[in-house]
Structure 1
Amino acid sequence: MRDIALILHVAAGALGLVLGPLAIVLTLRRKRLNWAGEIYHWAVALVCLTALVMVPYDWAGLWFFWPISLASYLFVYLGQRSAESPGGLWYRGVLRGYGGSWIALWTAILVVSVSDYPWTWAAPTVLGTALIELLCLRPVPAWTRA
């Protein structure tokens, strides 16, 4: 069971890394949810679900991935709901939701690959959040809805 979950986890994570930026760009350009956003949502959902399945196999070392997985899914859900709702500051929800879940994917890769350094947790969050907030403060005019 753990091996199947791990294979699905890695495959969905790779798909999410590729589709994350595409989902953001297409959603902001078309001003609505699109195929990339839908697939990205389900890829992140599968990453989170498989993480929840694998955590009990090494509870002492991985317990903190349960709340991280839930938070990551909530980010992508926020992005999807923002893409579906009309008006106002919808693009901020898309940027923060999809962007936050994409940051979580990168953080997980760095933590697993380069776990000896404390910056692996902080670097993606600091850099990604700064970029997202800059885009939220200075949006492209085409993103706003009438």
Structure 2
Amino acid sequence: MRDTVLSLHVVGGTAGLLLGPAWLVARRRGRAARGLAVAYQAVVGSVALSAGFLAVTGPGLTWLIPVAVATEALAVTGALARRRGWSGWPSWQPHLLGGSYIALVTGVLIAETGNPVFWLLPALVGQVPIAVAKRQLHAVAPPTAPAPV
């Protein structure tokens, strides 16, 4: 069973890595991209669930459960920030959704290399696209304006 869940985890993570940029490109072109958004959220949720299962069933991996929970929380909160028009959402949403994507990238890099530098490098590199997204969102919508649905 663990091998099956691991396979689903890898497929889900790969899908998330592909859906994230597709969603971003669609949004930058002015499309609602609701299907991509829902798919990304579903994939991140499945990756978090499978990560939790793998952490519980693998020796010494339970410390990864908070990472899985945090990744899902970032994705869901990032989606809700805009949809619900939370105050300051143009500042928060790029960090939240970007953080969920950075967590996916970090997971792949750590799993493939085991190099501890990859716990930090994706977060540092990811600040550039997050800053660009924040700048674009602030240009389009004032920080306190509710988002269109």
Compute the displacement of 1:79 (Å). Answer: 1.7
What are the within-5 Å matches in structure 2 for residues 1-146 of structure 1?
1-27=1-27, 29-30=29-30, 34-60=34-60, 62-86=61-85, 89-115=88-114, 117-136=115-134, 138-139=135-136, 141-142=139-140
Residue by residue over 1:12-64, the C-alpha shift from the partner in whole angstroms, topping out at 9 and shown as x without a partner, is 1111000012223434554856111110000000000001111122231x222
The 1-side partners of 2:93 and 2:31 are apart by 10
TM normalised by structure 2 equals: 0.82
Supply the AA of the counterpart residue of 2:64.
F
The 2-side partners of 1:3 and 1:27 are apart by 36
Compute the displacement of 1:66 (Å). Answer: 0.3
TM normalised by structure 1 equals: 0.84
Count, aligned residues:
143
Residue by residue over 1:66-91, the C-alpha shift from the partner in whole angstroms, topping out at 9 and shown as x without a partner, is 01000000110012102312376433
Residue by residue over 1:92-122, the C-alpha shift from the partner in whole angstroms, topping out at 9 and shown as x without a partner, is 333122211110000000001111x221111
Compute the displacement of 1:142 (Å). Answer: 3.4
- Unaligned runs of 5+ residues in structure 1 are none
SS at match of 2:58: helix
The 2-side partners of 1:8 and 1:38 are apart by 18
CA gap 1:82/1:28 in 2 versus in 1, 3 angstroms: farther
The 2-side partners of 1:53 and 1:74 are apart by 17
Could you tell me the percent identity over the aligned residues?
27
The 2-side partners of 1:15 and 1:104 are apart by 14
Supply the AA of the counterpart residue of 1:55.
A
> Structure 1: which 4+ aligned runs deviate by more than 6 Å?
none
Give yes or no for contact 1:24–1:95 (8 Å, CA) kept in 2: no
CA gap 1:23/1:93 in 2 versus in 1, 3 angstroms: farther
CA gap 1:143/1:3 in 2 versus in 1, 3 angstroms: farther
Supply the AA of the counterpart residue of 2:84.
S
- Unaligned runs of 5+ residues in structure 2 are none
Compute the displacement of 1:8 (Å). Answer: 1.1
